[in-house]
Structure 1
Amino acid sequence: MSRQIILDTETTGLSADAGDRVIEIGCVELLNRKLTGRHFHYYLNPGRDSHEDALKVHGISNEFLRDKPRFEAVAAEFIDYLRDAEVIIHNAAFDVSFLNKELELAGLPPFAAHVERVTDTLAMAKELYPGKRNSLDALCDRLGVDNSSRTLHGALLDAELLADVYINLTRGQDALLIAEETGPGGAEGSVPSLDLRTLSLRVLPASEAELQAHALLLRDIDKASGGKTVWPIAKNA
């Protein structure tokens, strides 16, 4: 069974090395690409105030965090929740740097020691959409994910949105997953095979207009990739 955790954090600022700390952790769980409803979410007392610019992003006041637990108080529960899962993060280097610092201060091994692997959806999006904006909001707009409730950043809300974005980014994997789940044998488990020799298929050739539109699309993709596509581009398209 494939277990994945979608994770996001909010922080007091931009640099863990400069002393900024995690103030919120939000995670949601996917089993076989389905949300389970089992999530991990804590606000944390960072022991310092957030920078003014960070407050404008997440809106989590210093006063609100005063009575919240410290990271070390929830660290064991956090590690147990993540253990051996694939963890999916948008701009993973940022969140992992902060979580590594928190784990270090708590006297615990770094993040990678507790999980199977980390997948960065920002890196995935840059591969799929070179030269385009690939923030979480931009990907929600591009992939039809409703982010209308996201007026401020929040770790749990952003993790939920990122789960939808990830499913859409990797939609082509569904067929492979169905094949893995069904496997050999029985009406429940087997994918029916077709004898192509007995099929009579009508071939519908593309029209001239459709061929021209296809050539234009290939040209645009080639241009967006900086000429890195492997197919020949029609010069008169």
Structure 2
Amino acid sequence: MRQIILDTETTGLNWKTGNRVVEIGCVELVERRPTGNHFHRYLKPDCDFEQGAQEVTGLTLEFLADKPVFTDVVDEFLEFIRGAELIIHNAAFDVGFLDNELALAGAQYGRILDHATVEDTLLMARQRFPGQRNSLDALCKRLGVDNSHRQLHGALLDAQILSDVYIALTSGQGEIGFDEGASAAQAQATTSFKVTAPSARPRVQVSGDELAAHEARLEKLRKKAGKAVWDVMLEEEAATAVA
């Protein structure tokens, strides 16, 4: 079985409001073992980042200015995922964005499900750990997967981490690893992906005035709706990040 662990980074939370994909990261598993093959591209969007999105990813429009647009890489991307099972954390988010990118590229490209099947590790985790936090960071902590190198969100880095989480989540023999007496082949299947962070990312420096304005805006939203989207994301993610 060929599986592709996939993650994206975007300019905001909703493609319906014009947000775009700015990074795609994929790593390949065959028979649940990492092959070392991967697909990774930064993409130039035709829109600005939503407030807060840059802090999450560390990406800027300046950094992305000389990167390809999605139509430049669409054929290569679809060839990489074709016929595979895509493993995605919160798949509705990533697939929604990718389907939008495909639609903008041309009707001939169809949708993600025309090229691959999809398995959502967030739904899997909620079934296994009902009532608990099941963000990627929370699952790393619960399943013993090292994510200490995850300072910013990056599509390839998160896909590599998710590969370890997926193996642990689906091993069926303890939280991580196999019971004593398991075959060498099974043990090899749980070997952690050796994660190498992508090239250095630009960091966005936020001034005190900008932080104060951001918090003031959130407080207005809390008063109107009882909770801001930013708060929902923080609750869904572990204390260190927004997924």
- RMSD after superposition: 1.7
- Partner of residue 35, structure 2: 36
Matched with 2:72 is 73
Instruction: Provide the residue aligned with 1:87 in structure 2.
Output: 86
Query: Alignment length, in residue pairs?
Result: 176
Q: Distance in 1 between matches of 2:41 and 2:51?
A: 22
Following the alignment from structure 1 to structure 2, what is the Cα–Cα distance between the partners of residues 166 and 96? Answer: 18
TM-score (norm 2): 0.70
2:172 is paired with a residue whose SS is: helix
Structure 2 SS opposite 1:165? helix
Secondary structure, aligned partner of 1:52? coil
Give CA deviations for 1:8-49 in whole Å, capped at 9, x if unaligned.
Answer: 000000111110000000000001111001000000001112
Alpha-carbon distance between aligned partners in 1 of 2:71 and 2:60, rounded to the nearest angstrom: 21
Q: Output the TM-score relative to the length of structure 1.
A: 0.72
Residue 139 of structure 1 aligns with which residue? Answer: 139
Fraction of identical pairs, as percent:
60
Deviation at 1:172, TM superposition (A): 1.9
Relative contact order higher in (CA < 8 Å, ≥ 6 apart): 2
Equivalent residue for 2:44?
45
The correspondence of residues 73-222 of structure 1 with structure 2, limited to 5 A, is 73-107=72-106, 108-115=109-116, 117-172=117-172
Q: What is the DSSP-based 3-state SS (H/G/I as helix, E as strand, rest coil) of the residue aligned with 1:7?
A: strand
* Distance in structure 2 (CA, Å) of the matches to 1:90 and 1:27: 12
The Cα shift of 1:52 comes to 2.3
Larger Rg computed on CA atoms: 1
* Unmatched runs of 5 consecutive residues or more in structure 1: 182-237
Q: Displaced runs of 4+ in structure 1, greater than 6 A?
A: none
Q: 1:5 corresponds to which residue?
A: 4
What's the CA shift for 1:56?
1.1
How far apart are the structure 2 equivalents of 1:17 and 1:146? 34
Offset of residue 98 of structure 1? 0.1
Which residue does the alignment assign to 1:208?
none
Q: Structure 1: which amino acid aligns with 2:90? A: N
